[in-house]
Amino acid sequence: MSSQRLPRELHTFQGMLLPTTSSKELLNSLDSFDAREDDVFLVSYPKSGTHWVAEIIENIPSARITLTPPIELGDISRLEELNMYSGRRVIPTHLSYNLIPLDVKQKQCKIIYIVRNPKDTAVSLFHYYRDNPRLPSVETWAAFLELFLQGDVVYGSWFDHVLSWEEHKNDKNVLIIFYEEMKKDLPKNIKKITTFLGINVSDSDINKIAWKASFNEMKTNAIKENCDPNHTICALTSNRSLVFRKGVVGDWLNYFTPRQKKAFDALFTEKMKHSELARRLQE
């Protein structure tokens, strides 16, 4: 997307469209971030289930977890602010692999990457564009889908994002979690997450976490809670009530015309032909 046509809510950094709430100075300084060996990065393309996994991690008993704001949100003071957090930091981000701070890679911090079916992700992001004043306005679903397919949306192309992480799917510090698999069997995926983080939890704790992280419970609490803009985990809004829309698999069927599905599938096949993650998304 040429910079003349950029909406005021977005700017580019190293070829990726990012929200202007991520300052250039901060983005340029990410490599000076001091990682700690027990840091956990919670990474996703927007609308893949970040709040859901964050809720799970926050409710693990006796884990000394401190959920921080996204590393890329705000100005340069973010890096210093992150230094002040005690406990085990869980740091959310929507950055693709190449933009992750060097020290995180060197120290092999644990990284959880969440993937969601791209058609449902597109529908979810479309609604976010419509409801969230921090994102550009968009007239119609058809117009938004064009932007999504071209990668001209916040955090760029879904395909490139997932592929940047796919290359690291077998790294021992990386765990890939699928939105659809969480919907199918949440306790199993909570167990996967706690095991990956090296935390022992009982079956009864897992059931408690699953209840806390159910869609209805999270939505109800989001509406009740006051939003503290300093305690957002979302790089795109501090208004949690915008996040919990439907929470289902397959909502895309209500939006895609047969023609749009065909165009989407053609691009998916072309871009993701060597992707094992893509195969799992189609299972």
- For the annotated catalytic residues, the residue numbers are 94
Q: Is 69 in the site for ligand A3P (CB under 6 A)?
A: no
Residue placing its CB nearer to ligand A3P in the complex, 48 or 260: 48
- In the set 11, 51, 78, 89, which binds ligand A3P (CB under 6 A)? 51
Residue placing its CB nearer to ligand A3P in the complex, 76 or 222: 222
What are the two backbone dihedrals, phi and then psi, of residue 209, each rounded to the nearest 5 degrees?
Answer: -60, -45
Window of 12-20, 169-177, 240-248, 259-267 that interacts with ligand A3P by CB under 6 A: 240-248
Q: Is 135 in the site for ligand A3P (CB under 6 A)?
A: no
Window of 11-19, 57-65, 167-175, 242-250 that interacts with ligand A3P by CB under 6 A: 242-250
Q: Is 181 in the site for ligand A3P (CB under 6 A)?
A: no
Structure tokens at 115: 């993937």
Q: Is 245 in the site for ligand A3P (CB under 6 A)?
A: yes
Yes or no: say if 28 and 98 are a contact pair by the CB < 8 Å rule: no
Yes or no: say if 71 and 101 are a contact pair by the CB < 8 Å rule: yes
Nearest by Cα to 126 from 163, 161, 153, 105: 153
Site for ligand A3P in 114-133 (CB under 6 A): 120, 124, 127
- In the set 251, 261, 263, 277, which binds ligand A3P (CB under 6 A)? 251
The SS3 of residue 73 is coil
Site for ligand A3P in 217-236 (CB under 6 A): 218
Q: Tell the smallest beta-carbon distance from residue 261 to ligand A3P (Å).
A: 17
Question: Per DSSP, what are the bridge partners of residue 88?
Answer: 65
Comparing every residue's Cβ against ligand A3P, the nearest one is 247
CB atoms within 10 A of CB 64: 10
The SS3 of residue 15 is coil
Residue placing its CB nearer to ligand A3P in the complex, 102 or 253: 253
Nearest by Cα to 42 from 96, 100, 114, 98: 114
Residue placing its CB nearer to ligand A3P in the complex, 11 or 240: 240
Burial track 179-216 (b if 16+ CB lie within 10 A, e otherwise): bbbbbeebeebbebbbebbebebeeebbeebbeebeee
Q: Is 67 in the site for ligand A3P (CB under 6 A)?
A: no
Give dist(CA 128, CA 254) in Å, integer.
Answer: 16
The SS3 of residue 44 is strand
Q: Tell the smallest beta-carbon distance from residue 186 to ligand A3P (Å).
A: 8
Window of 26-34, 71-79, 207-215, 259-267 that interacts with ligand A3P by CB under 6 A: 207-215
CB atoms within 10 A of CB 227: 14
Window of 40-48, 70-78, 163-171, 200-208 that interacts with ligand A3P by CB under 6 A: 40-48
Q: Tell the smallest beta-carbon distance from residue 254 to ligand A3P (Å).
A: 11
CA end-to-end span of the chain: 33
Which residues of the chain form contacts with ligand A3P (CB under 6 A)? 44, 46-52, 120, 124, 127, 213-215, 218, 243-247, 251
